[in-house]
Amino acid sequence: MDRLLEGLDPEQRAAVEAPRGPVCVLAGAGTGKTRTITHRIAYLVQRGHVAAGQVLAVTFTARAAGEMRTRLRALGVSGAQARTFHAAALRQLRYFWPRVVGGEQWQLIDRNKLRLIAQAANRAGLSTESDSLRDLAGEIEWAKASLITPEDYPAAAARTHRDTPAPAERVVQVYQGYEQLKNTAQLLDFDDLLLHTAAALEEHGDVAEEFRDRYRCFVVDEYQDVTPLQQRVLDAWLGARDDLTVVGDANQTIYSFAGASPRPLLDFPRRFPEATVVRLERDYRSTPQVVALANEVIKWARGRPAGSRLRLIGQRPDGPQPRFAEFDDEPAEAAAIAQRARALLDEGVPASEIAVLYRVNAQSEVYEQALAELGIPYQVRGGERFFQRAEVRQAMIALRTAAAHQPSGELPKVVREVLAGVGLTDEPPAGGAARERWESLLALVELAEELTTAVEGADLPKFIAELDMRAEAQHPPTVEGVTLASLHAAKGLEWDAVFLVGLVEGTVPIQHADGDEAAVEEERRLLYVGVTRAREHLWLSWALARAAGGRRYRRRSRFLHGLVPEDHPAARAVRREPSQRKPKPQCRVCGSQLLESRAVKLGRCASCPSDLDEELLEKLRSWRAGRARELKVPAYVVFTDATLVAI
């Protein structure tokens, strides 16, 4: 049998072998969506249905794009493009710029962005404190990603019940001011890359023709997180054609705060009635124990659109049960996790197969310290920063200088010699910042080794070109070590052992989501993304105080209700919880706590039906009480489930 079809289940194979045209894979985490699309690309290329250079595959994070390129390379495909939407747009725009705009190419805005927002906010009479500026920047990004112009903003904000960072008319002023300042300075922000690319194709027939002649086969991974702006670019790329493969999981939509929506994924079969639609349920990534927990996390999700209620079925052999742990404070949590990581390393688990995942990047510091104390190498993902690190910039300068004076010798050896000049020693330093610097430099040598095996005649200029491309696409090389990453950055990736840390109220869900049901649901999906990253070992932990010896005022995450086993010491604390609190307004349909003022007024959650008759409600209530007693869990947990079953 064809090598590319081996190791695929019948559904995956159906998607791989489908003729060119619309294909949609709707499936849960770890079911092989990314594997399916990489195999599909390789299959189409190998069978001669499309040339590798005509394929454009896009995804949402640089890491995921890099992962796709690595998988394609392993399947023997070279020349197919796998990029983030932004990196693909940037490349196209550079090429088409002389024809669609002309003159000097505008520069990408980086740290100046907040400065321009500050100027615009100042003119609009708003605070220029950094938090307010970040909120305003986020709001403008949301508007642009949602294709909302400044003029349309007030109506759109009202329609979507947004909690605007300033009165809508002020936001409009800042939005307009920022656009003006940016254009005058001839700068482009990330959203402009997409806007200009779409406009170039929509308004310039010759550009569209040339582009569509070059790229003929489109693939989108993680399609559940597409924004209206990205969809517009995709439509501009496609024109009247339909050679588009999309894969995604609506339960992993984690960017709706930034305008993303799973609707295009769920509506794909309606938009392309002739599409090959495949659903995958077998989870190949995680042990049945991890899969069971993932199913449990997502089971409680509210307002899940039809088509997203997939249950994962674990395929791997049994593994250890996920572990839950409560700590007095964060340093204690971090120290315990570093020790567990040490034990895993001693058992032979490679450092690159261990990840510590958290909700916000600020949480990384305490884990960095704890790992460094035990001499465990680590890398903080937020990979964008890799190319901005001082030692990497020095290394790039040294490599360019060397290339100008000598393009001879075996590439990895040459790179190692050049980097010795900027501090790469044979033996790693003991730990801390010196160790991190060393790890970055070593990653460059490893990349040179990788390039040598993958590309014939790899030399220093080719290596520098690869580095430039990676810097542009924000795709750093892999640094050996335990990964520290935010839940957002972990999407699409997998590790043997995963620590989900800091699972306290205010962090997961994040404070500002409180009171907004949709935002809380997005936080639940983030936890689902986190849980489904683990192949085998999974630890979930939280600390009751931030600082060592601090007051223990924090409560563990609400999402852990019902997940922690009955015999776990922390479970007793959960059962006590409801009686200690003052009664809060509850939904008259599902009984869950109402946080949003609109929902309190209505007396029910936005996602609950308004037309349940009293008789059915009464039945639900008594069912709830009975089930709660039987299961010994807080009644409202059971009631939520009852509603789902009954409706």
Orientation of helix 205-214 relative to helix 228-238, angle to 10°: 80
Kindly calculate the radius of gyration of the chain based on its CA atoms and give it in whole angstroms.
Answer: 26
Q: Which residues are annotated as a binding site for ATP?
A: 27-34
Name the segment binding ligand ATP (CB under 6 A); options: 6-14, 290-298, 410-418, 636-644.
Answer: 6-14
Residue 31 partner contact from ligand ATP, Mg ion, none using kind-dependent CB cut-offs of 5 to 8 Å: ligand ATP
**Nearer residue to ligand ATP within complex by CB, 35 or 558:** 35
Report the site for ligand ATP in 477-496 (rule: CB under 6 A): 492, 494
The string of DSSP letters for 422-455 reads: TT--SSPPSSHHHHHHHHHHHHHHHHHHHHHHHS
Q: Which two tokens stand for residue 299?
A: 């089971």
Please check whether residue 309 is in contact with residue 41, taking contact to mean a CB–CB distance below 8 angstroms.
Answer: no
Strand segments, DSSP code E, in 238-369 are 244-248, 276-280, 282-283, 313-314, 323-329, 354-358
Residue 281 partner contact from Mg ion, ligand ATP, none using kind-dependent CB cut-offs of 5 to 8 Å: none
Residues 192-221, mask of contacts with ligand ATP (x by CB under 6 A): ------------------------------
Q: Can you tell me whether residue 354 is helix, strand or coil?
A: strand
CA distance 259 to 243: 25
Could you give the C-alpha distances from 22 to 25, 33, 195, 396, in angstroms and in order?
10, 15, 25, 42
34 binds Mg ion (CB under 5 A): yes
- Binding residue for ligand ATP, selected from 3, 5, 7, 512, defined by CB under 6 A: 7
**Residue 482 φ then ψ, to 5°:** -65, 135
- Using the Cα atoms of residue 128, residue 131, residue 134 and residue 139 in order, give the sign of their dihedral: negative
Residue 541 partner contact from ligand ATP, Mg ion, none using kind-dependent CB cut-offs of 5 to 8 Å: none
User: Smallest distance from the beta carbon of 78 to ligand ATP, in angstroms?
Assistant: 20
Please check whether residue 292 is in contact with residue 263, taking contact to mean a CB–CB distance below 8 angstroms.
Answer: no
Report the site for ligand ATP in 231-270 (rule: CB under 6 A): 249, 252
Residue 641 partner contact from Mg ion, ligand ATP, none using kind-dependent CB cut-offs of 5 to 8 Å: none
| Element spanning 376, H or E | none
* Size of the residue set binding Mg ion (CB under 5 A): 3
* Size of the residue set binding ligand ATP (CB under 6 A): 19
User: Smallest distance from the beta carbon of 34 to Mg ion, in angstroms?
Assistant: 3
Residue 32 partner contact from ligand ATP, Mg ion, none using kind-dependent CB cut-offs of 5 to 8 Å: ligand ATP
Closest CA to 368 of 409, 396, 334: 334
Kindly give the pairing relationship between strand 217-220 and strand 55-59. Answer: parallel
User: Smallest distance from the beta carbon of 532 to ligand ATP, in angstroms?
Assistant: 6
User: Smallest distance from the beta carbon of 288 to ligand ATP, in angstroms?
Assistant: 14
Report the site for ligand ATP in 521-550 (rule: CB under 6 A): 532
Closest CA to 459 of 411, 419, 401, 418: 411
**Nearer residue to ligand ATP within complex by CB, 141 or 221:** 221
Report the site for Mg ion in 455-514 (rule: CB under 5 A): 492
| Residue with tokens 């998988």, as numbered in its chain | 71
DSSP tag of 21: S
Residue 30 partner contact from Mg ion, ligand ATP, none using kind-dependent CB cut-offs of 5 to 8 Å: ligand ATP
Residues 351-390, mask of contacts with ligand ATP (x by CB under 6 A): ----------------------------------------
Angle at 336 between CA 330 and CA 342, to 5 degrees: 135
Residues 23-52, mask of contacts with ligand ATP (x by CB under 6 A): ----x-xxxxxxx-----------------
| Element spanning 59, H or E | strand 55-59
Closest CA to 169 of 181, 155, 180: 155
**Nearer residue to Mg ion within complex by CB, 466 or 494:** 494
The H-assigned helical ranges of 215-329 are: 228-238, 263-271, 288-299
User: Smallest distance from the beta carbon of 632 to ligand ATP, in angstroms?
Assistant: 33
CA distance 495 to 539: 12
- Binding residue for ligand ATP, selected from 4, 8, 564, 633, defined by CB under 6 A: 8
Q: Can you tell me whether residue 323 is helix, strand or coil?
A: strand
Q: Which residues are annotated as a binding site?
A: 27-34
Residue 7 partner contact from ligand ATP, Mg ion, none using kind-dependent CB cut-offs of 5 to 8 Å: ligand ATP
**Nearer residue to ligand ATP within complex by CB, 30 or 177:** 30
**Nearer residue to Mg ion within complex by CB, 34 or 363:** 34
Closest CA to 586 of 602, 562, 563, 609: 602
Residue 449 partner contact from Mg ion, ligand ATP, none using kind-dependent CB cut-offs of 5 to 8 Å: none
Residue 561 partner contact from ligand ATP, Mg ion, none using kind-dependent CB cut-offs of 5 to 8 Å: none
Contact set with ligand ATP (CB under 6 A): 7-9, 12, 27, 29-35, 249, 252, 284-285, 492, 494, 532
Contact set with Mg ion (CB under 5 A): 33-34, 492
